[in-house]
Amino acid sequence: MRSGCRIAVLMALAATAAVASAQQSIQLSAFPYRSVADGRSTTTLTAIVRDNSGRPVPNGTRIVFVATNGATFRESIVSTENGVARAILIAGTVPGMARVTATAQGGNAAPAVLDFEFVSDRKLLSSAQEYIEIVTADTAQYTTDTRVVAASAANQGVNLRYRDVQIQADDLQLDIGGYQVRARRAKLRIGKFEQDFEELSFRLNTREGFGTTSYMAQRADTIAWVGGMPAAVEVRPGDTLEIATERPKFGVVRVRAAGFEPATLPEGESPFQFADLSAAVSTIRAKKVTAFPQRGVQFQKAEVYVGTTKVLSMPLYELNQQAAAATPIITDQFVNVQDSTLAVNYPYYLSIKPGQTSLFRLRTGELYGRSTAANRGSFLDYELNWNRGDEMDGGVTFSGIARNDWNLSARQWWQVDDRSSAFFQALTPAGQSLLGSVGYTRQFEGFQTTVNANGSQNLRGLQFNSQDALIAIERDPAKVGRLPARLSLGMNLSYNANSLTSLRDRSAGVYARLLTNGMRTPIGGTLTLSGTVRQNQSSLRGVNTAYFATASYFRELASGVSVNTVYDFVQDGFDDRTYGKHRLSYLANVSRGRTLLQLNGLRSLTLDRQNFFADMSYRVGPLWRLGYRYTFDRFSGVEFIDDQYVLGYRLGWREVGLVYSRSTKRIGLQVVGATIF
């Protein structure tokens, strides 16, 4: 209790001592949330740019976009309209995470950073929409640090549902990230298959596992021949015979979607062992839990606990996975202090169920990207989100209710059938303009088509509009002889128009793309190579031949130490003017003992363009921590540099810290979740 009082006092002092900075803040988002690493798929990124009072920046503020891991932009420098800048991200060819950076040209705002995932197969996109539902007659408990849901109720009172899988149990634990279920006295149903198990360990997404149950097993019995019945072979009284009979047997079985079979557990494994959750930092207890493995967790009749103390009750609540990863203490997601600024982000849920949520959200003092300056504007938002597993995902957001600079946005993604998907999104800032994007992808036998279109229309003041559209047809990758590589061939048609410049451009092109499999190198690690040649015939620019190449090298140097280096070559007459023909990006991670370190950067080898981010944390002892954060962004001679030095002290599960910022040249206070080692 004393720790809680001290924290409350420190937060109050920090709120009254808040000092504003003149910096802008950039909020960066993407829809859809991930894409395929096929070199052609596009995603629309939206950057909302505001000054430190929460107002939109002036029209025409130029935002520079850059991405790593071979991803590029259709236009890398975009001007804001009513505080919004939108850029079209074009996928690279190497699966993995690409770090996207958005910076306001002029150096008066810290860059916003977004990690965007490119997957190797289109089928992997649907996994982001899946959900697992748990309903219990008693109470389910979710632990934030382990992402495990545990529930117990007599007479198989715990019910779990995932697609066509249903499990009823007395005791059940779900490891959300691994789709792993462990249960006792459980009944498993998959379609028409149904079986009772004393113990069950089952992975939902692969529909495989182990269990202990009774089943009929064949047994060879030995009997003495006494005669009286004809025998198939010549025997005499007193001889012994072996006959096969079926008798009930209790033992370990391997479970699959179609049934089970007797099995032996792998040596040294204990698949039925429940996790010990007694030392959880923070928990949520609820009657109903709906888990989205790639996104977050929803709760009905939620009670929030820190340790063993109940601190909050909410009829409905949704926990965002990224927010939960930042701090193990749930209440820090609602209210925290960073750099002497009180930040509030409080959701009040109106309804919540597996397919839909609606809520009001109060927010102020938010920090975006790597900024040290908070947005002091106060916002009340309404959000309506819906989801139907891997079939559809969408929502509507009305942000800044009762403000002059409100925003209304809508988004929708559909899995039309097992071969096609579609999406759209629209945004209108204060009714001043309308921005929209649509996309459709269809897989045929041996080839795939993609259609994408973007448009904008100014509704007030100077009337202007812009449109761009792309149609691409590509043959499925084919193996190239005995080489560890695949070759894709394609063609595309595009159209771009802008009423301000009265320019219209129509183009048609063909391209060839070669991608190798991951290859082991003599020095260790994995090397992946890709190359693309593209030729376009444009009504404005004539014939243009472009060349793209990417070399990605990943190596795990030791346990908890890894590096990923990517070299990109671009020569297309457009992006190479912004990025340069040669680019080098890198990511290094260290997580060993008391040390956490991440280095991430991009550097053009031919132009004045680079950024570098460093985040370090070192635990001096059980209570003290030293932290360092460095941000460097440079474009055409304009730089943004900021150092942050943190001295943290742990109070219970929280951490109170002093932070010095080089850009603001002042010492601030922060009360955030402690870094756990």
Predicted confidence at residue 7, as pLDDT, reads 40
Q: Alpha carbon of 363 to those of 102, 249, 311, 437, 567: distances in Å?
A: 22, 60, 20, 27, 40
> What is the band of 18 on the pLDDT scale with cuts at 50, 70, 90?
very low
Question: What are the pLDDT digits (tens) for 612-668?
Answer: 999 999 989 888 989 999 999 888 888 888 888 989 887 766 678 888 887 778 888
Q: At residue 674, does pLDDT exceed 60?
A: no
Highest mean pLDDT among 53-62, 173-182, 632-641: 173-182
pLDDT at residue 301, as a whole number: 85
Lowest mean pLDDT among 82-86, 427-431, 664-668: 664-668
Q: Which residues pair with 438 in a beta bridge?
A: 424, 453
Cα gap 331→311, rounded to integer Å: 8
CA atoms within 13 A on the CB side of 109: 29
Supply the pLDDT for residue 487: 92
Least confident of 233-242, 243-252, 336-345, 386-395: 233-242
Question: Helix or strand or coil: residue 418?
Answer: coil
**Mean of the per-residue pLDDT values for the chain?**
82
Measure CA 331 to chain center. Answer: 22
Across 309-319, average pLDDT = 83
Which of 439, 435, 438, 470 is closest to 456 using CA atoms?
435
Specify which of 265-279, 363-377, 592-606 reaches the highest per-range mean pLDDT. 592-606
Quick check: 21 pLDDT over 90? no
pLDDT digits (tens, 9 = 90+) for 435-466: 999 999 898 988 889 898 989 898 887 788 88
Whose tokens are 């070399």? That residue is 551
What distances in angstroms separate CA 21 from CA 601, 617, 626, 647, one per listed residue? 26, 25, 25, 22
Q: What are phi and psi of 10, to 5 degrees?
A: -60, -40
How far is 328 from 283, CA to CA, in rounded Å?
9
Per-residue confidence band for 483, with pLDDT thresholds at 50, 70 and 90: confident
More confident of the two residues 515 and 74: 515
- Can you give the pLDDT at residue 224? 57
Q: What is the mean pLDDT of residues 135-161?
A: 90
Residues 492-519 pLDDT 10s: 999 989 887 888 999 999 999 898 888 8
| Bridge partners for 508 per DSSP | 493, 537
| Strand, coil or helix: 517 | coil
Q: Which of 98, 76, 95, 97 is nearest to 87 (CA)?
A: 76
Q: How confident is the model at residue 278 (pLDDT cuts 50, 70, 90)?
A: confident
Q: Are 134 and 158 in contact (CB under 8 A)?
A: yes
Tokens 């055409």 -> residue? 636
32-57 pLDDT, tens per residue? 777 888 777 888 899 988 887 788 88
| pLDDT, position 256 | 85
How confident is residue 412, by pLDDT bands cut at 50, 70 and 90?
Answer: very high
- Greater confidence (157 vs 122) lies with 157
Q: Work out the pLDDT band at 533, boundaries 50, 70, 90.
A: very high
CA distance 52 to 637: 24
Q: Has residue 266 got a pLDDT over 70?
A: yes
Does the pLDDT value for residue 232 go beyond 60? no
Its pTM stands at 0.73
Say whether pLDDT at 281 is over 80.
no
The yes-or-no verdict on residue 406 having pLDDT over 60 is yes
Q: For the residues 335-351, what does the mean pLDDT come to?
A: 78
- In our burial notation (b when 16+ CB lie closer than 10 A, e otherwise), range 629-668 reads bbbbbbbeeeebebebbbebebbebbbbbebebebbeeeb
Higher pLDDT, 589 or 377: 589
pLDDT tier at 222, thresholds 50, 70, 90: low
Which is nearest to 411 in space by CA: 46, 27, 35, 41? 46
Q: Which of 196-200, 552-556, 636-640 has the lowest mean pLDDT?
A: 636-640
For the cut 50, the answer to whether the pLDDT of residue 676 exceeds it is no
Nearest C-alpha neighbor of 127 from the set 271, 322, 4, 292: 292
What distance in Å separates the CA atoms of residue 219 and residue 589, rounded to the nearest whole number? 56
Q: Which H helix or E strand runs over 16?
A: helix 2-16
Q: Alpha helix locations (H) across 110-227? A: none
